[in-house]
Chain A
Amino acid sequence: MNRGGWFRRSPRSKAAADVPDGLWIKCPRCEDIGFAKDVERNLNVCLKCNYHHKLRAKERLALMVDEGSFEEMDAEVKALDPLGFPDYGDKITRARTNTGLTDAILTGYARIAEQSLIIGVADFAFMGGSMGSVVGEKIARAMEKGVKDRLPVVLITANGGGARMQEGLLSLMQMAKTSAASARLGQAGVPYIVVLTDPTMAGVFASYASLGDVILAEPGALIGFAGRRVGNQDLGGKLPDDFQTSEFQWRSGQIDRIVPRKELKETLGTLLAFFAEEGVHAQQTS
């Protein structure tokens, strides 16, 4: 795998290669060219090397939740350009047009294996899935609804951009905001499950994405703290080949399980059922 490579490649050409609208699809890792239909049928996982292609938020939802159960919330929350950051306005407009989304995350009510939950799904195609005010706000609202409705919260990350620099400090503060909301979920005893997918970096990995009661990851995803172009420092001797991947983070104790895409829904169902069961003290307290 071209580790850390997504930032070096032109994100645009990469995204174009990912979209399986042609007859053929080329795997960015093993460069195998396969029938788009076959790859799609395999949940967009490379038949040859098991590379998990990036999924659009809606594709992800279609795979993960019970059919027709997703009910979007806060769909109209839109980004502003509070800093007047160079090209941000244009980038947002272009991302909206290209993705059909208002920002880099969809949140809403859904069911998995007939169990109700609140789900958030990030979309890398929208400015690298970076977290600005809108993403932070939608996550905080989703978590607060989780507390209010006592529904488990599942967040599926795909936030290569970390905190969105075009909103400056306001983006940085979304790390504190989402982590604060996560604290309330914890206090309320509402389960919080994170699924890390390719890529999850920086400000997102260093906030809500690391706070799940259970943290799962898809195989081979890029997951880490510092993007390669942000720091110019020597990252410390020879880096392992799988530096900043799911496997590396699992080995470092940061992830509970690496779950292949085809088993994800089932695993989430099992987890939700586990948490839904009344605990040992339920009868005494109620």
Chain B
Amino acid sequence: MLNKHLDFEKEIGELDALIAELKHLSTDPSVRADAATKQIDIEARIAEIEALRQEKLCQIFSNLTPWQKVQMARHVERPYTLDYLRILFQDFLELHGDRINADDAAIVGGLAKFGGQSVVVIGHQKARDLKERQLRNFGSARPAGFRKALRLMQMAQKFKKPIFVFVDTPAAEANLMAEEEGISRTIALCLQEMVLISVPIIVVVIGEGGSGGALGIAVGDKILMLEHAVYSVIPPEGCAAILWNDRTRAADASDALKLTAQHALEFGIIDEILPEPLGGAHRNVGEMAETLREAFTRTLAELQRYSADILLENRYQKFRNLGMWDDPALVLPETPKPRRTRTRKE
């Protein structure tokens, strides 16, 4: 059985168990009678522990280290794309296949209604039980998945429907078959074509933003990211292997890679961090979904104000300008002086 609690969550788990036990005991009349004679207030005791639990949650989750965030992003109970889809969208009709030779279950997509409006939704899909995990390939998409995603985006463009993208993948599939089927070219093509899709694209990184496999469907007008999600050029374990020849130093690599939502915002790579419920999205999926709904509604309304031309130009410039370098040859134009002749005329 999977251990549902991460190391740093253990204390919370213990308190949860304690609360559950007390609640269970409090329903037993003989225990209540015994407690009464000993002047123990079970309800007060429960409330006390719940307060302690709340305090612990605040303490732990306001100061997660980058490596803890990686673990949060990979948490087995973390809500996945389809979990949000069920709450946020109506009439979801999943569409399948890359129209070449396969359907990749690691990427789901289809038609849906959002707030009464027809939209296209695409996302990586992870799974919890072993059988479905294999079916979903742990959320690692093959070329067929990226082709399906691109096909659905091009259909969205054809019918002028906005696109919502959920990102949650450890990485793109890298095995022999993926290599033979041209995984690199397929991702590259997605990157190239997504800047030409003339409808709003709203991306949200809900869990793991695993390098090219994530970016391959994440070229959008607005990039949102959940508070404890991560987005990285390389898995921390891989980075540790290259840097120190030691995969176990993933925590150090997580620090070095600056892969948290907070860093991504700082570097201008994402537009907004969406706060998670205390203790992480999995502790209150409904609340998390409502935060997403508000952000989606607001962002979509903003993007729909732009013409297709402006949308595309802005998206191009957004990605065109990413990166940090030093260019001594760059001369910024001087601030123009007020043109007096013109003002006099007016």
Contacts and interface: CB of A to CB of B under 8 A. Distances in A.
Partners in one complex: yes
Interface of A: 74, 76-80, 82-83, 85-86, 132-134, 136-137, 140, 163, 165, 167-177, 179-184, 186-187, 202-203, 205-211, 224-227, 229-237, 239-240, 243-244, 248, 252-254
B320 A207 contact: no
B269 A173 contact: yes
Given A226-B174, A229-B242, A252-B180, A180 B233 contact: no
Contacts of B237: 232
Query: Max chain A CB contacts within 10 Å: which of B189, B234, B263?
Result: B234
Interface residues of B, number: 58
Given A169-B233, A176-B191, A224-B184, 16 more contacts: A78-B327, A82-B267, A85-B257, A86-B243, A163-B211, A169-B269, A170-B267, A171-B233, A175-B191, A205-B188, A206-B184, A210-B188, A226-B171, A229-B241, A229-B242, A254-B185
A235 to B, nearest CB: 5
B268 to A, nearest CB: 9
Interface in B282-315: none
Interface in B174-195: 174-185, 187-189, 191-193, 195
Shortest 9 CB-CB contacts between residues of A and residues of B = A133-B323, A226-B174, A236-B175, A179-B191, A230-B238, A236-B176, A210-B188, A173-B322, A206-B184
Interface of B: 171-172, 174-185, 187-189, 191-193, 195-196, 211-212, 215-216, 219, 231-235, 237-239, 241-243, 247, 256-259, 263-264, 267, 269, 316, 319-320, 322-329
A231 B175 CA distance: 10
A79 to B, nearest CB: 6
A80 B243 CA distance: 19
A244 B323 contact: no
B251 to A, nearest CB: 13
Contacts of A239: 176
A165 B239 contact: yes
Nearest to B235: A230
Contacts, number: 200
Contacts of A231: 171, 174, 238
A229 B240 CA distance: 10
B181 A252 contact: yes
A83 B257 contact: yes
Contact of B233 (A140, A172, A186, A253): A172
Query: Max chain A CB contacts within 10 Å: which of B212, B235, B264?
Result: B212
B175 A169 contact: no
A83 B258 contact: yes
B231 A206 contact: no
Contact of A168 (B175, B180, B258): B258
A173 B235 CA distance: 16
Nearest to A78: B326
Nearest to B171: A231
A82 B324 contact: yes
Contact of B326 (A80, A167, A175): A80
Contact of B212 (A74, A80, A172): A172
B247 A232 contact: yes
Given A165-B233, A206-B187, A236-B176, A183 B195 contact: yes
B193 A183 contact: yes
Nearest to B238: A230
A278 to B, nearest CB: 26
A163 B257 CA distance: 13
B188 A208 contact: yes
Contact of B234 (A136, A165, A240): A165
A227 B171 CA distance: 13
Contacts of A205: 184, 188
Given A165-B239, A170-B323, A180 B175 contact: no
A227 B179 CA distance: 12
Nearest to A240: B176
A198 to B, nearest CB: 16
A193 to B, nearest CB: 15
Given A169-B232, A205-B184, A230-B238, A236 B259 contact: no
Query: Max chain A CB contacts within 10 Å: which of B267, B324, B325?
Result: B325
B259 A168 contact: yes
